[in-house]
Structure 1
Amino acid sequence: MNQNILEVDNLHVSFKTRNGAVPAVRGVSFSLKKGETLAIVGESGSGKSVTAKSIMQLLPKQNTVIPEGTIRYEGKDMLKFSNKEIQSVRGSDISMVFQDPMTSLNPTMKIGKQIMEGLSRHTQLTKKQARQRAKEMLELVGIPNPETRLDAYPHQFSGGMRQRVVIAIALACNPKILIADEPTTALDVTIQAQILRLMRNLQEKMDTGIILITHDLGVVANMADRVAVMYAGEVVEQGTLDEIFYRPQHPYTLGLLRSMPNLDASRAQPLIPIPGSPPDPSALGTGCPFAARCPYTMKVCHDYNPGAVAISESQAVRCWLQDERTPPEHIPAEIKEGRRSTEEAAADAEGVTA
């Protein structure tokens, strides 16, 4: 069985402010296997990027507090690593691709030197070997005339080509995990498709695990094996791609799917936006953070935040609608239908293995 290469368990992250600590991530847990793609989705401010940067330990230490939780890479808790240990992992075993390539690249350094920088830090390659590796990486990510382009500066590349360079830098040391934080948001649709195709192809060649941070469910549908849906710093639902897209069990997940255009004419429906805005993280109450925007809210939703309920071996949800005490007539048809589909899938699986 493919073992987890990364395990995040009950992670809490807060930021110090003049008015006290503000929670950004609250009890987040998920895992990643080698060669797997996990998509973390949600609106802006849901805690996706903070979670990713916590793994890489890229948050400002002077005002970041991690009061509890673990981030285990190959069984070792990275939160207990020394600066030297985390620097040896960062860029070598775990790499990150950011949203805007121009803020990731040094405008005063040639592209080749920027790729070689990580190689010289994390490998024993000579300068000549590092340059050859940099050339191979540019070729791998589809940049023409790689030998010549090694001596070009970032401003001499298009936006899509710059993002390819950033991916080349991230993958130069053959990392086991690639964290991609909104890697295609700043690109047009055509270039976006090319970058996603490139990431899939590279993943197949290098067997790299990918954590994809995005708000775009179209990107998720094309890339992910599993999905974690975040809201107000919590993972409110996670499961396989099919479970999240075809058997969602949380009202927020339903809302995200309803607000996404469907290109399948036979299933096309009017887009329904989620009303309101995400809550202020500094003013969260004791109840479910989605209660104010949820069309199925009950009194208990405003008073207590629900715990996670396992729907299947791979799907879990934080919602009072999943509580056995919830009256059946209060559960929306879509969630009931999703439950039936999950039960049928589980029965089919048992029949195959019996």
Structure 2
Amino acid sequence: MSKPILEVKNLQVSFKMYVGEVKAVRGVSFTLNKGEVLAIVGESGCGKSVTAQTLMRLIPTPPSFIKSGSILFDGKHEITKLSEGQMEKIRGAEMGMIFQDPMTSLNPTMTVGSQITEGIIKHQGMSRKEALVRAAEILALVGMSNPEERLHQYPHELSGGMRQRVMIAIALACNPKLLIADEPTTALDVTIQAQIIDLLRQIQKKTETSIILITHDLGVVAEIAQRIIVMYAGKVVEQGSLDEIFYNPKHPYTWGLLRSVPRLDSNRHDELVPIPGTPPDLFAPPTGCAFAARCPYAMQICKEQDPEHFIVSETQSAACWLLHEDAPKVERPIEVGGRANG
């Protein structure tokens, strides 16, 4: 079996603020295989985007800093130890990123063509004429109509969906091995969202690029991901394959996320149930399980000791004391895949 394209081990990222230290990412570990689509889901503030931006060393330092951990990319690059100059050779060339809002990410004073060709000229040594030909090919790949014409337009002349396609084209310009999509459909309407997700799926099949999808939209996850990581309060609380997370979730937080999403495959007509309370303050993370204060199944040990990751299968694990052999049996409060408590 080939080595993973990305191996993250015990990653801890904090922000130094005038009132103290914000522990945004607290010991995240996962792997990403070549050609795989991995989704990272969770509420706002759970550490998804900080984790993603740390992988490309895009978070500002200071105030942020990597406390500990390892990010091994392509089996040879230890991202946490590279200089900024070394990272500039990897960003864009081997790792690409699609940001949340293309209108604020694209340069309004530069044409689409100039923004796409910038990375091609820098990393692949092409002339501007050659780079423009390549840029037009990429725009065609991402489904942009009249690509040669679009090269000479500015971001404000394009629709939201077109701007997002330009963002994807920039990220794909140098055929990266890893593509990180940070909430790529948040600012788009539902129809365009579906088009962008379909586009990412087609690109992944054509180029075999590994993709990390950062989102809070489980509907988007179901369309494209093969494996899912659920984050809460800066930690991974559950991970598994798409089927395992949707059809056999084990962590109460994952149950809560699924209960708050409308389902078309359910035989019941329950109202959507929000997760009560708010995430903890990461200036001073709570002792024990961070979800305990919001969990209806919390036991005394949950408030005193952080749970280990209990192995459910070869691909699934969850950090919850309910999976301990001595824990009381709890009936899952949701219906999944049209089957109750499967």
Class of the TM-score when normalised by the shorter of the 2 chains: over 0.9
**Equivalent residue for 1:350?**
none
Aligned-pair CA distance for 1:337: 11
Q: CA RMSD in A?
A: 1.7
Question: TM-score when scaled to structure 1?
Answer: 0.92
SS at match of 2:271: coil
Give the 5 Å matches for 1:1-354. Answer: 1-75=1-75, 76-264=77-265, 266-326=267-327, 330-334=328-332
Return the letter of the residue paired with 1:191. I
SS in 2 for 1:8: strand
Amino acid at match of 1:60: P
Distance 1:152 1:22 in 2: 42
Inter-partner Cα distance in structure 1 for 2:72 and 2:311: 22
Q: Which amino acid aligns with 1:11?
A: L
Q: 3-state DSSP class of the match of 2:267?
A: helix
Structure number having the greater helix percentage: 1
Q: How far does the alpha carbon of each residue in 1:124-148 deviate from its partner, in whole angstroms, 9 at most, with x for none? A: 2121110100011111111111111
> Deviation at 1:43?
0.2
Preserved contact between residue 262 and residue 269 of structure 1 (Cα < 8 Å)? no
Calculate percent identity across the aligned residue pairs.
59
The worse-fitting range, judged by mean Cα deviation, of 261-270 and 157-166 is: 261-270
The aligned residue for residue 347 of structure 1 is none
TM-score with structure 2 setting the length: 0.95
Question: Where does the alignment leave 5 or more consecutive residues of structure 1 unmatched?
Answer: 345-354
Instruction: Report how many residues are paired.
Output: 337
Q: Deviations over 1:96-139 (max 9, x none)?
A: 00110011100000000100001011102121110100011111
- Encode CA deviations 1:7-61: one digit per residue, 9 max, x unaligned: 1110000100112221000010011111100000000000000000100101111
Question: How far is the alpha carbon of 1:268 from its aligned partner?
Answer: 4.4
Distance 1:284 1:186 in 2: 31
Q: Please list every run of 5 or more consecutive structure 2 residues that lacks an aligned counterpart in the other structure.
A: none
256-265 or 203-212, which moves further after superposition? Answer: 256-265
SS at match of 1:25: strand
Following the alignment from structure 1 to structure 2, what is the Cα–Cα distance between the partners of residues 102 and 83?
26
Moved over 3 A (4+): 335-338
Q: Distance in 2 between matches of 1:190 and 1:159?
A: 12
For the Cα contact (< 8 Å) 1:247–1:335, is it kept in 2?
Answer: no
- Secondary structure of the equivalent of 1:175? coil
Give the residue type in structure 2 aligned to 1:15: F
Separation (CA, whole Å) in 1 of partners of 2:212 and 2:147: 28
Equivalent position SS for 1:113: helix
Letter in 2 for 1:105: L
CA distance in 2, matches of 1:39, 1:174: 21
Counterpart AA for 1:36? E
What is the distance in 1 between the residues matched to 2:3 and 2:241? 17
Q: Which letter maps to 1:33?
A: N
| Pair 1:161–1:263, CA change in 2 (3 A) | same
Distance 1:250 1:95, change over 3 A: same
Aligned equivalents of 2:116 and 2:316: distance in 1? 39
Which secondary structure does the structure 2 equivalent of 1:68 belong to?
strand
